[in-house]
């Protein structure tokens, strides 16, 4: 479900006339928007997009709307615009950018367009002045979900979004917080949404989920929070309320926080229906974790591999391999560490990605890690080179030797074949057996070079890739 757009719709509901067009569901979004513009006095087109394919679709749609209906003002928000506001404003078809949380900024922007206030008074807004220069107002303090109304689910075809997954037949999604209190150097979430995570009250979370169950038949949920378990008391209260709902669910958490949870809390999390937890393990090297400002240790990751096995929860460990300081050392140590995790908990799902930095505030166009300069227009971000970078298909990182990159990619293929993800509910049993058989000797003998048979088998079987869906 388009949670970001629904959050904006919540503050418009009952106050403004609006329509939601979801480019992930509508295969002809431009045509839909043109019809709406022609049949209504449209004042503003708001676009929310993530980097990658969403950004490209947003760029193409915005450019076409500006060409055909130039009188309509266009504002971009969401992760891409929040991280790259000047890049977005460099596009002629984008008039305004809202950085970070957009609910109040959207209402205030509408007031400004109607002459009721000045653009300069809207926190979190970036815009072009009368001379075409970029102006960026001070940041807007983040507010927690409880400060805003529920999402108006009746405005979208909810049942079309409740799709089968490993967790259930009708899997919903929910976001129960905003922001992240941590400062990982490769991540842009804290830059976009603040360093003070604001949590939704457990009671409200459960009431929203009850609504999705009773009204639309949801039987499972994926929580998209960066840190679903931030405080143990909050986690325990929430899980006690969730348990009667009988949902199976997935969430993200940190190994340092959960490694300190009591056995009683871990048992409560399991009873509440938790089936899988995503952990950003990031590296098998403590020095690399310090370099990333991750704030965790490899021992804490191993602890959670043991504890999740003890309580019957599948851990999903993600790694960003090839730290610029010493990519060869980081790669070798991380691959050995992943093998250690697999010995402790064979059910662990492993996601391997190349180290991909995100520009931090004050360096939007500057070099990252002293070696990468980012594009300064959406058009350049849409090129194959930068799409591959965004999706971590090929980052072309200057510090990562081709030999090291091949080792990372080949290792990832061998591990994914040796333990095919449980999340692909479509894959027949024979396909998993084939991949396990083909890869078993390679994993046993640490032989990852030239995995041609695995490449061929994976193209033929086409297993779902959690790595791609986690981006």
Confidence of residue 148 (pLDDT cuts 50, 70, 90): very high
CA-CA-CA-CA dihedral for 296, 301, 302, 305, to nearest 10? 160
pLDDT (0 to 100) of residue 226: 87
> What is the structure's pLDDT at 390?
83
Contacts of 115 (CB under 8 A, 6+ apart): none
The predicted structure's pLDDT at residue 364: 42
Q: If residue 279 lies in a helix (H) or strand (E), which one and from where to where?
A: strand 274-282
pLDDT of 183 reads 77
pLDDT in tens, 320-364: 999 989 999 999 999 999 999 999 999 999 999 988 877 654 444
Token pair of 94, please?
């984008």
Residue 366's pLDDT band, with cuts at 50, 70 and 90, is: very low
Q: pLDDT value at position 463?
A: 66
Per-residue confidence at 466, pLDDT binned at 50, 70, 90?
low
Q: Which CATH superfamily is domain 3-136 in?
A: Cobalamin-binding domain (3.40.50.280)
Average pLDDT of 184-192? 74
Global confidence as pTM: 0.92
Determine the pLDDT at residue 397: 81
Confidence (pLDDT) at 180: 86
Tokens 């008039």 — which residue?
Answer: 95
- If we measure between CA atoms, which residue out of 46, 53, 55 comes closest to residue 19? 46
Is the pLDDT at 469 greater than 70? The verdict is no
Q: What is the DSSP string of 153-215?
A: GGGS-HHHH-B--SS-SSEEEE--EE--S---TT--HHHHH-SSPEEPPHHHHHHHHHHHHHH
pLDDT, the chain, mean: 92
Q: CA-CA-CA-CA torsion for 201, 205, 206, 209, nearest 10 degrees? A: 170
Q: Is the pLDDT of residue 168 over 50?
A: yes
Kindly indicate the confidence band of residue 278, based on its pLDDT and cuts at 50, 70 and 90: very high
Flag whether pLDDT at 239 surpasses 50. Answer: yes
Residue 471 has pLDDT above 70, yes or no: no
The tens digit of pLDDT for each residue in 55-111 reads 999 999 999 999 999 999 999 999 999 999 999 999 999 999 999 999 999 999 999
Burial pattern 275-301, b for ≥16 Cβ within 10 A else e, equals bbbbbbbbbbbeebbebbebebebebb
How far from each other are the two terminal CA atoms of the chain, in whole angstroms? 16
Answer with the residue of higher pLDDT: 362 or 30: 30
Q: What confidence score (pLDDT) does residue 360 get?
A: 56
pLDDT at 218: 98
Helix (H/G/I), strand (E/B), else coil: 375:
coil
Least confident of 36-45, 177-186, 244-253: 177-186
How far is CA 182 from each of CA 252, 254, 294, 361, rounded to the nearest angstrom? 14, 10, 8, 15
pLDDT the model gives residue 368: 57
Higher pLDDT, 358 or 229: 229
pLDDT tens-digit map of 417-440: 999 999 988 888 899 999 999 999
Window from 20-34, 301-315, 366-380 with minimum mean pLDDT: 366-380
What local confidence, expressed as pLDDT, does residue 345 receive? 98
Tokens, residue 105? 């900024």
**Residues 183-191, mean pLDDT to the nearest whole number:** 74
- Please state the rounded mean pLDDT for residues 232-253: 97
Helix H or strand E encompassing 75 = strand 73-77
């Amino acid at each position: 479900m388009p949670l970001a757009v629904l959050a904006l719709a919540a503050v418009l509901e009952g106050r403004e006339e609006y329509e939601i067009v979801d480019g992930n569901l509508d295969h002809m979004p431009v045509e839909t928007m043109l019809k709406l513009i022609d049949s209504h006095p449209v004042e503003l087109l708001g676009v929310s997009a993530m980097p990658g394919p969403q950004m490209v679709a947003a760029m193409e749609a915005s450019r076409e709307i500006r060409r055909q209906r130039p009188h309509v003002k266009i504002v971009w928000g969401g992760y891409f615009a929040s991280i790259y506001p000047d890049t977005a404003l460099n596009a002629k078809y984008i008039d305004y950018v809202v950085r970070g949380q957009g609910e109040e900024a959207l209402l205030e922007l509408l007031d400004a367009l109607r002459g009721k206030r000045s653009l300069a008074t809207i926190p979190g807004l970036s815009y072009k002045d009368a001379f075409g220069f970029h102006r960026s107002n001070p940041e807007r303090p983040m507010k927690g979900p409880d400060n805003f109304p529920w999402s108006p689910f009746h405005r979208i075809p909810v049942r079309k979004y409740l799709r089968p997954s490993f967790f259930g037949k009708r899997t919903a999604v929910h976001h129960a917080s905003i922001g992240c209190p941590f400062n990982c150097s490769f991540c842009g979430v804290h830059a976009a949404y603040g360093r003070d995570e604001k949590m939704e009250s457990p009671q409200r979370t459960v009431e929203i989920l009850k609504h999705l169950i009773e009204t639309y038949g949801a039987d499972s949920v994926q929580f998209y929070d960066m840190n679903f378990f931030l405080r143990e008391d909050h986690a325990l209260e929430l899980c006690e309320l969730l348990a009667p709902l009988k949902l199976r669910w997935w969430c993200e958490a940190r190994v340092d926080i959960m490694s300190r949870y009591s056995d009683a809390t871990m048992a409560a999390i399991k009873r509440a229906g938790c089936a899988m937890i995503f952990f950003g393990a990031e590296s098998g090297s403590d020095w690399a974790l310090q370099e990333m400002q991750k704030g965790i240790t490899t021992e804490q990751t191993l602890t959670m591999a043991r504890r999740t096995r003890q309580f019957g929860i599948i851990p999903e460990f993600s790694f960003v391999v090839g730290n610029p300081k010493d990519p060869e050392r980081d790669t070798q140590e991380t691959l050995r560490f992943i093998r250690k995790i697999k010995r402790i908990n064979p059910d662990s799902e492993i996601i391997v990605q190349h180290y991909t930095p995100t520009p931090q505030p004050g360096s939007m166009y500057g070099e990252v890690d002293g070696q990468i300069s980012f594009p300064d227009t959406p058009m350049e971000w849409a090129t194959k080179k930068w799409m591959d970078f965004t999706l971590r298909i090929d980052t072309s990182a200057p510090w990562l030797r081709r030999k090291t990159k091949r080792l990372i990619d080949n290792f990832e293929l061998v591990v994914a074949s040796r333990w095919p993800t449980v999340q692909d509910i479509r894959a027949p049993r024979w396909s998993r057996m084939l991949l396990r058989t083909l890869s078993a000797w390679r994993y046993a003998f640490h032989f990852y070079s030239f995995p041609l048979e695995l490449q061929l088998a994976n193209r033929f079987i086409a297993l779902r890739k959690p790595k791609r869906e986690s981006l």
